[in-house]
Each structure stands twice: as structure tokens, then as C-alpha cells.
Homo-oligomer: A and B are copies of this chain.
Amino acid sequence: MQTETRKLLTVICEAQLESHVIADLERLGARGYTVTDARGKGGRGVRNAGWDRSANVRIEIVCDDKTANALAAHLRDHYYDHYAMILFISDVEVLRAGKF
């Protein structure tokens, strides 16, 4: 079976950021995304080092390496210092890579 490697970028952040982050992702070249509602605890960047168990969203984007880097750099620069957000990137194999 023929597959190609793409990047899976997973962003977990406060639910209230969803529309902002989605708009950024689309503007920066993501061709699709998947959102699931989540809850959790984690550090809140420099604004609040404490723990917060609250409404989060988990946003996934499969894209090429260049787009993943651009999205991650943008999110880091615009949200990491002021909002509860983490992101991580992994390699995935996809079919019909033209979809991404």
C-alpha cells in the first residue's frame, strides 16, 4: 500500500481560543482540521503558572512539514506566553497525500 509521510500537529488549548486558532490555521494554509472537546490540567504559560482544570479543545491538522512548522511557530509566538496551550507534532503515514 502506497503511503506518504505527513505531519500531524495537535494543539490543545482553552476552548475560548478555538475560533481564533482555527482562523489562523486556515489563513496559514491548513486544508482541514478536526476538533474534539476536552478537559484537562496544565501550566498556563507565564500569566498563570498554576493549574487549571477547564474546558479545552484538541485541534488536529495533517499537513506537510513546511505548513506544520509555520503553524507551530505562529501559535507559539501569538499564544504560548499568554494562554494555556500546548502543541506537539508527530509523523504519520497517509493515503492519497493530495488530500493534505
A interface residues (Cβ-Cβ under 8 A, vs B): 1, 3, 6, 8, 10, 12, 26, 31-43, 56, 58, 60, 62, 69, 72-73, 76, 80, 86-96, 99-100
Contacts A33-B41, A40-B33, A40-B35 given: A87-B95 contact, CB under 8 Å?
Answer: yes
| B88 pairs with A94, CB closer than 8 A | yes
* 5 pairs, A vs B, C-beta closer than 8 Å: A1-B72, A62-B86, A86-B94, A88-B92, A89-B94
Given contact pairs A1-B69, A12-B60, A90-B93, enumerate 10 new A-B contacts (beta carbons under 8 Å): A1-B73, A32-B40, A32-B43, A33-B40, A34-B38, A35-B38, A36-B36, A76-B96, A89-B94, A90-B92
* Given contacts A8-B90, A95-B87, A58 and B36 within 8 Å (CB-CB): yes
